[in-house]
Chain A
Amino acid sequence: MATFLNLHAVQWIAVIIIFFMLFLLADALAGHYRTGFKLHIQYMPFAAGGVLILFLIGSVFLPLNKRITTLLKFTSWVTILAGFAGFIFHHYYGMIKKPGGYSWFLHHLMYGAPPLAPLGLSAAGLFSVVTAYAMQQETKFLGYEFSQVIFFLVGLCMSGIILQTAILHFRGAFNNPVMYIPFTFPLLTAIMLFIADFISHAWLDMVLKGLLWLTFLSGFVGLGMHLRGFDRQRAGLYVTLFNILQGPPLFAPALYSILASIALVAIYMM
Chain B
Amino acid sequence: MPEWLKRVKPVAPIHPIFVHFTIALTSFSVICDFAGLYFQSESLYNTGWWALATSAIITLFTIASGFISRTRIAMEEGTALAFLRTHMALGPIFYGLLLIMTVWRASFWQAKSGLSGWYLLFAAVVLLVMLIQGYLGGELVYRFGAEVKRIYPALPINQDDQYGNFP
Chain A positions within 8 Å of B, measured between CB atoms, are: 4-5, 213, 216-217, 219-221, 223-225, 227-228, 231-232, 235-240, 257
Contacts and interface: CB of A to CB of B under 8 A. Distances in A.
28 contacts: A4-B110, A5-B106, A5-B110, A216-B100, A217-B97, A219-B96, A220-B93, A220-B95, A220-B97, A221-B93, A223-B92, A223-B96, A224-B92, A227-B67, A227-B91, A228-B85, A228-B89, A231-B70, A231-B81, A232-B85, A236-B70, A236-B81, A237-B70, A238-B70, A238-B71, A238-B72, A238-B158, A257-B96
Interface of B: 67, 70-75, 81, 84-86, 88-93, 95-97, 99-100, 106-107, 110, 155, 157-158
Given A5-B106, A5-B110, A216-B96, A238 B91 contact: no
B96 A237 contact: no
Task: State the majority secondary structure of interface residues on B.
Answer: helix
Task: State the majority secondary structure of interface residues on A.
Answer: helix
Contact of B90 (A224, A232, A239): A224
A240 to B, nearest CB: 5
B36 to A, nearest CB: 20
Contacts of B100: 213, 216-217
Listed from nearest, the 5 A-B pairs whose CB atoms lie closest are A220-B96, A224-B89, A223-B92, A224-B92, A228-B89
Contacts of B85: 228, 231-232
A228 B96 contact: no
Nearest to B72: A238
A115 B5 CA distance: 47
Contacts of A227: 67, 88-89, 91-92
A107 to B, nearest CB: 30
Contacts of A231: 70, 81, 84-85, 88
A257 B90 CA distance: 16
